[in-house]
Amino acid sequence: MKALLSVYNKEGIEKLADFFVKEEIEILSTGGTYTHLKALGYSVTKLEEFTNSPEILHGRVKTLHPKVHGGILYRRDQEDDLRDVTENGLSSIDFVCVNLYPFFEKLEENLSELAQVEFIDIGGPTMLRAAAKNYPFVYVLSDPKEYSTFMTVYKEGTEEEKQAFRRKSAGLVYNLMGAYDSAVANFLLSEEEKTYGSFSYRKVQSLRYGENPHQKASVYEEIDGHGALKSIRILSGKELSYNNYKDLDIAWKVVHEFSEPCCCALKHNTPCGVALGENALDCYEKAYAADPVSIFGGVIGFNVEVTKECAEKMNEIFLEVIIAPSYTQEALEVLKNKKNLRILTCSHKPSATNTMVSLDGLLLVQEEDQKIFDQLKTVTQTNPTKEMLEEMVFAFKVVKYVKSNAIVVTKDKMTLGIGGGQVNRIDAAKFALSKAKGQAVVLASDAFFPFPDVVEESAAHGIAAIIQPGGSLKDEASIQACDAHGIAMVFTGMRHFKH
């Protein structure tokens, strides 16, 4: 019996080699793996001696040989296969331990195209696929995490357990190959050039449950991209839930719409309070004041360091998760007094280029909504002041993250009312305006007004300026209504539906 070892990641390879030596299984090896094992004193046969064929093209061709793939692929219970093995002088290779060139990891280094191409593995995937296809007879190991289980099953397992292990390992190979090939495809193709969906994700962990306790869930990380949430670190508290992850995505994106200190309080994937301020405490207090009821049990995001004073204020209520770029040591000591509070850091800014939504039998892919507006065009007789225009832009950035139909009303860079997820715009406006209790000065809408009713409702609640995309057939009716009430209105030319 022979084992073929050819690994880039040499973690655990010595224990595996020890095992094969004790089981009197001959070890074949290539390149760096051969050199590594020989230096440690193992008896190893160099693969080119086994094949009687030298490595060529600076190592690009070394395992692509009939003696290798014939020895892996022949079916041990087929007479024709056994005859071919005998006639062609092939030897059985019953164990294949291979891991790949680090194409995934090298993507993070932003190498030149030609340099990155050299990390596309050919021989490794070919050996893994061959061994996985012949799993009824061949053990295939593509991850060092499998070594320990393999050695136990091989020594102590029943035939059924051994077969089950080989089948699972084969499945893991093709799972890996799908991700690996997708990463290469994404490197070479634009989204428009793809014929098939190519998405590379690695499972991070299974979650306790999904949106509800009866739903199973897992979290995966994108392999061939950076991604803000890949840089999350849990400093204290319970593991994150499915809903936590969804909420964190929105909270982190909201606060990074702004260069000024910002706090976003979020509940059920929708902002309930967003504010700018002088520091973490200032913007948190404003976000809290925006909706002191909904913030309870929510997720809080910051784009600035959390201080002790801010931590003490947050500890006055029950919160699920806090995410920030950093915390002072004193702030961490305060927050860690609440054992179940999840305290997170995130070091990367949002960088997603695509959004994906899975349907029943379909996958929708679109560009991430990264823009804010095409223009800022005043369409009314009343012109907004510079300060009012800044307030309007603040409100419009927030409304981008509220479920459609979405209305946000603000004052002093602080949300006072948020209406989202309504099936008509006037109901969303009425809800947001009623929450503001006549204190708001700016109203933002994620899409145009089909009727002037939102303007009339805004006027009744003291709104001084409105920002919306424009583009309705009845824009003129809304403009005339604004002029009648002395309200300034600005068109952005860009809507932000969030279904």
State phi, psi for 194 to the nearest 5 degrees.
-75, 140
Q: Where are the alpha helices (DSSP H) in 440-499?
A: 453-460, 475-485
Q: Backbone phi, then psi, for 50, in 5-degree steps?
A: -70, -40
Q: At 283, list the tokens.
A: 């913007």
String of DSSP letters for 388-451: HHHHHHHHHHHHTTSPSS-EEEESSSBEEEEE-S-SSHHHHHHHHHHHHTT---EEEESS--SS
Burial (CB count <10 Å: 0-12, 13-18, 19+), residue 374: exposed
Radius of gyration of the chain (CA): 30
Write the single-letter amino acid at 70. Answer: G
Question: Which of 103, 142, 98 minimizes the C-alpha distance to 119?
Answer: 103
Q: Phi and psi dihedrals of 203, rounded to 5? A: -65, 130
Torsion of CA 49, 51, 54, 59, to 10 degrees: -110
Straight-line distance from the first to the last Cα atom of the chain, in angstroms, rounded to the nearest whole number: 59
Decide if 268 is catalytic: yes
The DSSP code for 232 is E
Say whether 133 is catalytic: yes
- CA proximity to 277, closest of 289, 261, 292, 290: 261
DSSP string, 110-162: T--HHHHHTT--SHHHHHHHHHHHTTTT-EEE-SGGGHHHHHHHHHH--HHHH
15-21, long-range: CB within 8 Å, 24+ apart, which pairs? 15/147, 15/148, 15/151, 16/97, 16/141, 16/147, 16/151, 17/42, 17/44, 19/151, 20/95
> For residues 139 and 23, what is the distance between their CA atoms, to the nearest angstrom?
15
Measured CA to CA, the distance from residue 320 to residue 323 in angstroms comes to: 10
What gap in Å lies between CA 121 and CA 101, rounded to an integer?
Answer: 6
Q: What three-state secondary structure class fits 105?
A: helix
Q: Which of 133, 338, 349, 485 is catalytic?
A: 133
Distances (CA, A) of 394 to 6, 22, 272, 438: 56, 69, 15, 19
Catalytic machinery residues: 133, 268
